[in-house]
């Protein structure tokens, strides 16, 4: 059995027993952010695009699902599908506007668009403004399984996460993923081989937005609310941090990064108060200066034998 | 019917913010020939390549490829029509393996739509044999599993050539394929170009006049964006204006 298979099996076992060991809602929150970070990494790590507006996709899906569950009383799986559809559509709009720009300009445009989305939710009548959309019911899965119980909700979230993670792995390894990698490595060369690079980037952007949306929708079901925090630029920054901490361009890095950040925030929220921001900032700086490969990247690079980590002297967006 | 001329430009022109880099260039490339584009540094050779492959929009003039006007066709489309370029600076996909470098080119031609994000990696392994064959033809087979970034410079250029060949281009544009190479590498790459040029057309920029003499049927000399002379090696090398341009450039 390969090392990779072993790691995944261990992860799966951990996923199944985690709610017995830890507070289930916290684990679910970690899984949602892990999926969010994986979606973000599909762009940064595997396409070379730094989006600084990914909260817009997380948050739009969160609101959309919250709205559908509350006002239309749909079943949770339909609520998720609706949220994902909204994010994917928004992703197509963002992508169409931003994709032709390079590097920092791309990041700035995604940020600006995400800010517009933020103000939209701040003003829109259906989002509950500063209070957010509260008391979203979890509903019954397929109209049969009530998700109100945390353990039922947990295994549903775990299944969504496994699906999302599997999908991203599949995309990375697919013929499409090879082209994305080529674009990340050398866009001009990919173009000279006859690939319409803008279309590939756009599709990658939409897929990333859709999966980020899946994470946001799931989060609303778990926590029962969607708020302005979900669409705030700080959340866009957090996902960058999670991905960097875990390891850009590694498959499991963002999961580890999300775990570290969410647990840290959870632990520190009571103890450190406003200092959380400072601590997060310090981690960010430390990562960029000293651990450019992130946790998973550093481990893979030090592992005896074949290293699976991308070399970082030539990072994305160079 | 395809005519004798595979590529023709008429009054091709490119301005960069008022600076005219290419100024009314008329080129005719004969099908099946190896055609050299030479000239001193800054003459506009690379810019001509960028215009032909639509990496840059022309300011004026037109480009006909196989009789079709491609002056406003997109870069990727031009490549898919069989007009494929290489770059002056070696241009690989550094953190993909040598095999993957060639395979991603093969994939464009042979693997149907590459937008299939739901297909497994196995759908690509059918291309491995073809990729290995191409690598063998440029003596890179032993390096197939290395990352391209780890190859020495001369091998990188060979990889670039193999990647270009994977597209079976009808017209291949090579921008200084021997630049920066050690002497023995130059010989190898020259032989390689001769081999792969069979059955296709090559337009190449080359500073090494020995290579030009050895390989090229026809030569166009560019200076300050305009065509200074055209002919075979003997004609061009005997042309006093050409000598002056090169000597002048060296003493500038
Ligand atoms: N993108 C650009 N913007 C502005 N000026 C440019 C640009 N590209 C090229 N030039 C200018 O156009 C002129 C021609 O450049 P080009 O690269 O085509 O020359 P070349 O013949 O390929 O030279 P070399 O032998 O050094 O490769 C040069 O003066 C160069 O500075
Ligand atoms: Mg040049």
Of the candidates A16, A317, A11, the residue with the CA atom closest to the CA atom of residue A159: A16
Tell how far the Cα of B41 is from the centroid of ligand 1, in angstroms: 8
- Chain A residues inside the 8 Å CB shell of B80: 194
CA distance readout (Å), B109 to A127, A180, B7, B195, B197: 49, 16, 22, 22, 19
Mean pLDDT for all residues in chain A: 87
Residue A286's pLDDT band, with cuts at 50, 70 and 90, is confident
SS3 at position B12: strand
Measured from the CA of B47, which atom of ligand 1 is nearest? 18
Search chain A and give the residue with CA nearest B162: A193
Q: Whose CA is nearest to atom 3 of ligand 1?
A: B16
Q: How far apart are the first and last CA of chain B?
A: 48
Asked whether residue A106 carries a pLDDT value surpassing 80, the answer given is yes
Query: What global pTM score does this model have?
Result: 0.89
pLDDT at A23 (0 to 100) = 87
CB of A173 less than 8 A from some CB of B = yes
Burial per residue of B47-57, b for 16 or more beta-carbon CB atoms within 10 angstroms, e otherwise: bbbbbbbbbbe
Residue A14's pLDDT band, with cuts at 50, 70 and 90, is confident
Total residues found in chain B within this entry: 252
Tell how far the Cα of B202 is from the centroid of ligand 1, in angstroms: 21
Q: Whose CA is nearest to atom 12 of ligand 1?
A: B21
Rounded Cα distance, B122 and B126, in Å: 7
For chain B (length 252 residues), average pLDDT per consecutive 10? 84 92 93 93 93 94 93 93 89 94 90 75 86 90 93 89 92 90 83 88 91 91 90 85 71 48
Ligand 1 close to Cβ of residue B21 (< 6 A): yes
Q: Whose CA is nearest to atom 8 of ligand 1?
A: B47
- Is the domain covering B1-82+169-252 a CATH 3.40.50.300 domain? yes
CB contact under 8 A, A175 and B93: no
ipTM of the complex: 0.90
CA dihedral B44, B49, B53, B59 (to 10 degrees): 10
Rounded Cα distance, A219 and A206, in Å: 20
pLDDT tens digit string along A256-281?
A: 999 988 888 888 877 877 788 888 88
Tell how far the Cα of A165 is from the centroid of ligand 1, in angstroms: 46
CB contact under 8 A, A197 and B76: yes
CB of A176 less than 8 A from some CB of B = yes
SS3 at position A243: helix
> Which of A192, A202, A208, A310 should be substituted to probe chain B, the one whose Cβ sees the most B Cβ atoms within 10 Å?
A192
Mark which residues 191-220 of A lie under 8 Å from B by CB: 191-197, 199-200, 203, 207
Ligand 1 close to Cβ of residue B113 (< 6 A): no
Helix (H) or strand (E) holding B104: helix B98-110
Q: Where are the domains of chain A?
A: 21-231
Phi, psi of A155 (to 5 degrees): -70, -25
Tell how far the Cα of B44 is from the centroid of ligand 1, in angstroms: 5
pLDDT at B233 (0 to 100) = 84
Of the candidates B207, B164, B216, B203, the residue with the CA atom closest to the CA atom of residue B186: B207
Q: Which residues pair with B136 in a beta bridge?
A: none
CA distance readout (Å), B116 to A44, A212, B111, B125: 20, 20, 10, 15
- DSSP per-residue codes, A247-259: -TT-SSHHHHHHH
Rounded Cα distance, B80 and B78, in Å: 5
Mean pLDDT in residue range A128-156: 81
Of the candidates A188, A203, A222, the residue with the CA atom closest to the CA atom of residue A88: A203
Q: For CATH 3.40.50.300, list the domain ranges present in chain B.
A: 1-82+169-252
Ligand 1 close to Cβ of residue B45 (< 6 A): yes
CB contact under 8 A, A175 and B108: no
CB contact under 8 A, A192 and B53: yes
pLDDT tens digit string along A163-198?
A: 999 999 999 999 999 999 999 999 999 999 999 999
CA dihedral A180, A171, A258, A225 (to 10 degrees): 110
Ligand 1 close to Cβ of residue B47 (< 6 A): yes
Ligand 1 close to Cβ of residue B223 (< 6 A): no
CB contact under 8 A, B94 and A185: yes
pLDDT tens digit string along B213-238?
A: 889 999 999 999 999 888 888 888 88
Mean pLDDT for all residues in chain B: 89
Tell how far the Cα of A48 is from the centroid of ligand 1, in angstroms: 28
């Amino acid at each position: 059995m390969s090392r990779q298979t072993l790691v995944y099996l261990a992860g799966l076992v951990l996923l199944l027993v985690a709610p017995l060991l830890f507070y289930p809602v916290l684990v679910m929150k970690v899984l949602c952010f892990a999926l969010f970070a994986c979606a973000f990494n599909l762009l940064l790590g595997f396409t070379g695009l730094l989006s600084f507006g990914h909260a817009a996709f997380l948050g739009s899906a969160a609101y959309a699902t919250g709205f559908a569950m509350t006002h239309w009383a749909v079943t949770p799986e339909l609520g998720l599908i609706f949220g994902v559809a909204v994010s994917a559509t928004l992703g197509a709009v963002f992508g169409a506007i931003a994709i032709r720009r390079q590097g920092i300009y791309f990041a700035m445009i995604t940020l600006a668009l995400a800010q517009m989305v933020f103000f939209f939710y701040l003003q829109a009548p259906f989002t509950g403004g500063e209070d957010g959309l509260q008391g979203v019911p979890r509903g019954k899965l397929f109209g049969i399984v009530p998700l109100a119980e945390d353990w039922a909700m947990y295994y549903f979230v775990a299944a969504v996460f496994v699906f999302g993670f599997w999908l991203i792995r599949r995309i990375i390894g697919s013929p499409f993923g090879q082209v994305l990698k080529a674009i990340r490595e050398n866009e001009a060369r990919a173009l000279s081989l006859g690939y319409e690079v803008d279309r590939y980037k756009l599709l990658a952007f939409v897929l990333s937005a859709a999966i980020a949306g899946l994470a946001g929708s799931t989060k609303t079901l778990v926590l029962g609310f969607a708020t302005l925090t979900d669409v705030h630029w700080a959340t866009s920054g957090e996902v960058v941090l999670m991905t960097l901490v875990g390891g850009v361009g590694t498959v499991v890095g963002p999961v580890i990064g999300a775990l570290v950040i969410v647990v840290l925030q959870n632990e520190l929220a009571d103890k450190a108060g406003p200092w959380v921001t400072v601590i997060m900032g310090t981690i960010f700086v430390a990562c960029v200066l000293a651990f450019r490969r992130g946790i998973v990247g550093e481990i893979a690079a030090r592992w005896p034998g074949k290293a699976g980590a991308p070399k970082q002297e030539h990072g994305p967006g160079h | 019917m395809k005519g004798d001329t595979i590529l023709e430009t008429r009054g091709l022109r490119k301005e960069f913010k008022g600076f005219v880099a290419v100024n009314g260039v008329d080129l005719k490339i004969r099908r099946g020939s190896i055609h050299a584009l030479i000239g001193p540094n800054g003459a506009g050779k690379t810019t001509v390549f960028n215009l032909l492959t639509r990496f840059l929009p022309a300011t004026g003039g037109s480009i006909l490829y196989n009789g079709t006007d491609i002056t406003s066709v997109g870069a990727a489309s031009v490549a898919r029509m069989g007009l494929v370029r290489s770059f002056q600076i070696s241009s690989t996909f550094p953190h993909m393996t040598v095999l993957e470098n060639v395979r991603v080119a093969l994939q464009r031609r042979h693997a149907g739509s590459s937008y299939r994000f739901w297909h497994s990696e196995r759908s690509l392994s059918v291309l491995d044999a073809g990729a290995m064959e191409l690598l063998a033809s440029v003596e890179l087979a032993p390096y197939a599993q290395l990352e391209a970034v780890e190859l020495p410079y001369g091998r990188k250029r060979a990889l670039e050539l193999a990647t270009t060949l994977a597209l079976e281009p009808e017209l291949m544009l090579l921008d200084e394929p021997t630049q920066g190479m050690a002497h023995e590498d130059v010989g190898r790459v020259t032989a390689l170009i001769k081999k792969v040029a069979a059955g296709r057309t090559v337009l190449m920029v080359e500073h090494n006049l020995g290579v030009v003499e050895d390989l090229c049927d026809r030569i166009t000399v560019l200076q300050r964006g305009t065509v200074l002379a055209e002919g075979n090696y003997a004609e061009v090398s005997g042309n006093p204006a050409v000598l002056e341009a090169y000597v002048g450039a060296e003493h500038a």
